[in-house]
Amino acid sequence: MPSLRDTEVGSEIPALSRVVTAEDVKAYADAGGDQNPLHQDDAVARAAGFPGIVAHGMFTMGHLAACVSRWAGGADRVRRLTAQFRAPVFMGEEIVARGRVKAVDGDRGVAVVECWVTVERDGQTEWPIKRGEAEVLLEP
């Protein structure tokens, strides 16, 4: 759990990686109720111009939230999380969530973390989530 005395601007939060599977996406669809066929049917996704099933944007956001929460010491320590969705994620891809402390407010006992999710595709880094920002409570 990060503390006021240990958290510095520029500090990296540990990366969290995950390979996205159709089973993960199906479980997310069932839990959240979003049964859009783009997230479950390769033929539908291909007809829409994608190479296959597309993971829900909020599935990827959930991965980012898990990364920030793990660093923060629990979801109850994350006060705010925002992000821009920039690129789709496909089955079998490895998504990597990361972050960096961009500000520490000692008076309020919070750190502001810039955060993002990347995926390597055809030798290039894509940004499914970019310009994310989390506000995290710090231990005194």
Query: At 28, which CATH number?
Result: 3.10.129.10
What per-residue confidence (pLDDT) applies to 139?
83
Predicted pLDDT at 73: 94
Residue 111 belongs to a domain: yes
Does 4 reside within a domain? no
> Which residue segment(s) compose the domain that 124 sits in?
12-137
Does residue 6 lie in a domain region?
no
Tokens coding 48: 């829409």
Which of left, alpha, beta for 33 (phi over 0: left; psi -120 to 50: alpha)?
Answer: left
User: Quick one: pLDDT at residue 32?
Assistant: 87
Nearest CA-CA partner of 135 in 108, 96, 107, 97? 108
Q: Is residue 43 part of a domain?
A: yes
Is 61 contained in some domain? yes
Per-residue pLDDT tens listing for the chain (140 residues): 777 678 999 999 999 999 999 999 999 999 988 888 989 999 999 999 999 999 999 999 999 999 999 999 999 999 999 999 999 999 999 999 999 999 999 999 999 999 999 999 999 999 999 999 999 999 87
Residue 35 maps to a domain: yes
Looking at residue 4, its pLDDT comes to 63
Task: State which H helix or E strand residue 97 sits in.
Answer: strand 94-105
Give, for 59, the enclosing helix (H) or strand (E): helix 57-72
Total domains, the chain:
1
Coil, helix or strand for 50?
coil
Q: Per the domain annotation, does 122 fall within a domain?
A: yes
